[in-house]
Chain A
Amino acid sequence: MSSITISAIRPRTSILDKSLSKGKGEVSLSCFALLFSELVQYCQNRVYTVPELQNKLAEMGAEVGHRITDLLVMREKNGKREIKLLNVLLFVKSTMWKSLFGREADKLEHANDDERTYYIIEKESLVNKFVSVPKDKGSLNCASFVAGIVEAVLCDCGFPAKVTAHWHKGTTYMVKFDDAVVARDKQLEDR
């Protein structure tokens, strides 16, 4: 069958025509560290306070998170998303961490006193590796960027949560799920 030409301009090949990369590519750590440093400086120049800076970093991280969710679900999970709370946390701790940072996060803990709070703990965070926090900005934690990634991944998977980064046993990401998420997970368990 011969095709009929309708437009003289050939459509450009879309990014979706390419096959999905295996994700094994590597770049030098210096490259990433310097790029990240520029990113932090850029954010810093546009804000006045440390919390604002952390928010801005988290926003940028979220951009990464939104994209990595689909990528990982397609590549690592055959397109299937987790529906259980614990599984989605393990997905973040293992699959996501491994593909972004080359290894799993060190620990995943559940808060004793609050059922909707979880902690993901990382002894040495990649984004804090080369950062010396200035004295006047003591609470600054550039891992807010990673917190933003985690938050976006969880939210995109249907588990709305708030994720913040803290200095505790290295870097700790506190994950606070919405009440509805915990309630729904209980319902799943009951069945």
Chain B
Amino acid sequence: MSRTGTKLDAKKVNSELFTLTYGALVAQLIKDYENVEDANKQLERMGYNIGIRLIEDFLARTGSGRCYDFRDTAEKIQSGFKIFLGITPSITNWSPAGDEFSLCFETNPLTEFVELPDNCSNLKYCNILTGVLRGACEMVQMEIACWFVQDQLKNDNITELRVKFVKRLEDAIPAGED
């Protein structure tokens, strides 16, 4: 639930429309690129574009300030998932240095109705999420790396997204250059 007292009305849409639209997009990418690796990359890029805009929405909705530390970041990312996708991934597997954690998803609206065909075993179906996180964090001067370690679509029990802190970005670096 988003914080009570926020002025912005969290407008919602049916998750099936979202799921199926995303599915149509992924299917189109695979058709167009004929190569699963390229489709993965394209999904990440699209996610990045979404992330750099979605962070605005997140900050406006939650009114949250700077992250105190990376644990704080993890919690904010978690609440972002709650606000935008209506799911609460659990935060687990902290690295001893505290610079890496995992988000574990039991359910995920992106993958409803989805079954990977055999020729797509390398497809990271939800790769758009890695891009979203990278883009969103970059806008708040944080460079992170993000990848999937487990995927329910590949018969794992849960879907696990690993997030690693890379470095703090200085204001001088123009955003979106990579």
Contacts and interface: CB of A to CB of B under 8 A. Distances in A.
Bind each other: yes
Contacts of B12: 26-29, 102
A30 B9 CA distance: 11
Point out which of A14, A26, A27, A59 has the most chain B C-beta atoms below 10 A from its C-beta: A27
Given A15-B113, A15-B115, A126-B13, A31 B23 contact: no
A126 B12 CA distance: 11
Nearest to B11: A29
A27 B13 contact: yes
A38 interface: yes
Nearest to A102: B14
Main secondary structure of the interface of A (DSSP, over half): helix
B14 A25 contact: yes
Interface stretch (B68-76, B79-87, B139-147, B161-169): B79-87
Interface residues of A, number: 34
Interface stretch (B48-56, B92-100, B119-127): B48-56
A72 to B, nearest CB: 10
Q: How large is the interface on B (under 10, 10 to 19, 20 to 34, 35 or more residues)?
A: 35 or more
Given A31-B54, A68-B16, A36 B21 contact: yes
Contacts of A60: 21, 24-25, 28
Given A15-B114, A26-B14, A42-B25, A31 B84 contact: yes
A27 B15 contact: yes
Interface string B1-34: 0000000001111111110111111011100100
Nearest to B15: A25
Interface of A: 12, 14-15, 21, 23, 25-32, 34-36, 38-39, 41-42, 46, 59-61, 63-64, 67-68, 71, 99-102, 126
Point out which of B15, B29, B128 has the most chain A C-beta atoms below 10 A from its C-beta: B15
A164 B90 CA distance: 44
